[in-house]
Amino acid sequence: MDYRSINIRFIKALFCAGLLLTAFSPGGAGQTRYMGEGYFESAMEKYVQGLYDEAIPLYRKFLEVAPYDFQGHYFLGRCYSFIGDRENARAYFDKSLRIIPDNYDAHYYLGVLLLQMGDSDGALDHFRKAHEKIPTLGDAVVQMGNVFRARKEYPKAMEYYRQAMRIEPGLPDPYIAAGVMHREQGDIPGALKSLNKGLEKKPSCSEAFFEIGNTLKMKGDLDGAAANYTKALEIRPRYVEAQNNLGETLLAKGDREGARTGFEKALKIAPWYSPAAENLKKMSTDQ
């Protein structure tokens, strides 16, 4: 789960830090990075807008100028992750970690990627390295719990979620993850209780509304599900999974036009998002 947002001020700080970091990288990357500044800044603007497919060629152009730049490789890894190209994502995360071996975010997101790919051992290793780097952050600990949840070792997963709650009491992530775990076990009341605790920690948490929507949808409360997906989208308009699930819920309610609009909006946000494309195709064949 990714609850971080990147604003322009943070991007500029990253860029300035990168100039210092890459000055000591092999091949004089610190000098050549100045030549690629325009590519990097343009790529970051696309990244912030969620236009990952447009950001990728700009990052690649930047790396032609500064091939040893950590941030260029790291953000390419993130972009490829978003569009579902896991092999390229893994390759660029690996390259970024060869440049800065103890970077928290690169270990964290490579762990997330490996977990999605079914490599729970590799994921756990990277989450542990991230946690060792910054032990005061709870999100890597939550992801360690997610590893054990994926293995259906639910008591062990809950241990990590509780640990994350102690490390960062205001973090919604462990409550949301615990809620999803309860839902997977068929405990709908327990899931909703935990997810609502996550909302108490962060009332503007789009992921909490999204997972409440998923839980109510599973329960058969389609109106409640649609309302929560809509809230998630009010907070995060480019939340493609919420847009797609809203479309599915509207379709289940019999609102075919609303569903079609939802799937089309999802594909406008992320043209590579295959579930929405498959839903649209299915609608056309069902007619």
**Phi, psi torsion values for 50, nearest 5 degrees:** 80, 15
Closest CA relative to residue 206, chosen from 249, 244, 173, 254: 173
Q: Is the pLDDT of residue 68 over 70?
A: yes
Residues of the chain with CATH 1.25.40.10: 18-101, 216-270
- What number does CATH give the domain 18-101? 1.25.40.10
pTM: 0.85
Q: Is the pLDDT of residue 15 over 80?
A: no
Q: Is the pLDDT of residue 100 over 70?
A: yes
Q: What is the pLDDT of residues 197-219, one digit of tens each?
A: 999 999 999 999 999 999 999 99
Q: Is the pLDDT of residue 287 over 80?
A: no
177-180: list long-range contacts, CB under 8 Å, 24+ apart: 177/1, 177/142, 177/145, 177/146, 177/149, 179/211, 179/215, 180/149, 180/211
CATH class, range 216-270: mainly alpha
Q: What is the pLDDT of residues 171-188, one digit of tens each?
A: 999 999 999 999 999 999
pLDDT at 91: 98
